[in-house]
Amino acid sequence: MNIAAADWQALWLTLKLAGLTTLLLFIIGVPLAWKLSQWQSRWRHGIEVLITLPLVLPPTVLGFYLLLLFSPNYAPGQWLSQLFDGPLVFSFTGLVFASVIYSLPFMVQPLLAAFNANGQRLTQAAAALGIPPWAALLKVLLPASRAAIVSACALTFAHTLGEFGVVLMIGGAIPGETQVVSIALYQHVEAMEYGAAHRLALMLMGITTVLLLAARWLGHRLAPRGSNNEQAKPVVGVLG
């Protein structure tokens, strides 16, 4: 397979973007899902729906609203530009920011399902033993939800790998900065370079397949043995 240098660069950039997004979403997603699972309020459903919205909006439309959000014509854009030390549009930072929003449901939903299944039970048991809530999360709940964590990370990573519409709107296809695989792939198709498109698509699908298979295998390996709780089953495939 002879893949052009620019395409390798795009592939590397995409892996970097997906990896970083997954890491950030894990850091954001765990406390968020945990808080939600502990929260007994009517508002909770509202927040859960809000988290699901990136699934509903067509990615190009999401990109369009991000474009408005980043715009220096309005206060949020000016503030973001100060916060991130430069405009977010046409930049890798901007892509990470967008991907975190775009893939949020893929991280939060599996975690929420796992925490809902046995979060209450485990945290109450931990509380009875005098373990504080945060320690209970780190020492009890997270280890018990290993399978779900693997699923959530795998889904988030794969979803971000294939991200297209959002990047199309805010990226600017700058090689090494914002030209990810999906964009390079589409450019090949549009320019009628079908051979290059097939090779790149094959690479992308190959990587994703290997990744998801590895995640499934890990999920099965990590499922706590001897406990017959429902949550241990990995949720890859439920969302994907």
Q: Does 26 bind other proteins (CB under 8 A)?
A: no
Q: Taking the complex as a whole, how short is the minimal distance between the CB of residue 128 and other proteins, in angstroms?
A: 48
Rounded distance between C-alpha atoms, residue 90 and residue 66, angstroms? 12
By CB under 8 A, residue 190 contacts other proteins: yes
Are the beta carbons of 152 and 237 closer than 8 angstroms?
no
Query: How far is residue 157's CA from residue 222's CA, in Å, rounded to a whole number?
Result: 19
- Written as six digits, the tokens of 13 are 């950039």
* Minimum gap (Å) between residue 226 Cβ and other proteins: 41
Least distance to other proteins, CB of residue 134, Å: 40
| Burial environment of residue 153 by CB neighbours within 10 A (0 to 12, 13 to 18, 19 or more) | buried
Span from 21-29, 85-93, 101-109, 221-229 in contact with other proteins (CB under 8 A): 85-93
Smallest separation (angstroms) from other proteins to the CB of 208: 23
Enumerate residues 40-79 that contact other proteins by CB under 8 A: 64, 67-68, 70-74, 77
Report the greatest alpha carbon distance in the chain: 65
Binding range to other proteins, per CB under 8 A, among 18-26, 44-52, 106-114, 182-190? 182-190
Binding mask 132-171 for other proteins (x = CB under 8 A): ------------------------------------xx--
Burial call 223-234: b when 16+ CB within 10 Å, e when fewer:
beeeeeeebbeb
Binds other proteins (CB under 8 A): choice among 23, 24, 116, 172: 172
Among 57, 142, 173, 223, binds other proteins (CB under 8 A): 173
* HEC sequence for 49-110: HHHHHHHHCCHHHHHHHHHHHHCCCCHHHHHHHHHCCCCCCCCHHHHHHHHHHHHHHHHHHH
Round to whole Å and give the CA distance between 219 and 30.
Answer: 17
| Shorter beta-carbon distance to other proteins: residue 70 or 115 | 70
Please report whether residue 191 would count as binding other proteins according to CB under 8 A: yes
Residues that bind other proteins (CB under 8 A): 64, 67-68, 70-74, 77, 87, 89-90, 168-169, 172-174, 187, 189-192
